[in-house]
Amino acid sequence: MPVQRDAFAEWTKSSYSAVNGDCVEVKTQNRQTLSVRDSKNPELGILDFAPETWSAFVLDIGRP
C-alpha cells in the first residue's frame, strides 16, 4: 500500500508499535520527503526518504 504524500501531517506511530508504544514514527515534512524517527528517542534525529522509497520499503518488508 503506497503512502499518501499528505497522510502524516503530524508524527504518527506505526500500527505495529509494541504494547508500550515503542516503535517508529513517520511524518511528511513536505511533498518530497517522508521523515522517520525512533519514538523512544526522537532527539536522536530523523531519517528522510522519498515517499516512493518508503512505500517500496514497507511493501517489501510485508512480503513473506
**39: DSSP letter:** S
Neighbours of 31 (CB within 10 A): 9
Range of the domain at 18: 12-61
User: Given the C-alpha cell 517508529, which residue does it identify?
Assistant: 24
Is pTM beyond 0.95 here? no
pLDDT computed for residue 1 by the predictor:
40
Residue 44 domain flag: yes
CA dist., res. 22 & res. 20, Å (int): 6
Each residue's pLDDT tens digit, 26-64: 888 777 888 999 888 889 999 999 988 988 988 888 776
Residue 6 domain flag: no
Residue 5 domain flag: no
Does pLDDT of 2 surpass 50? no
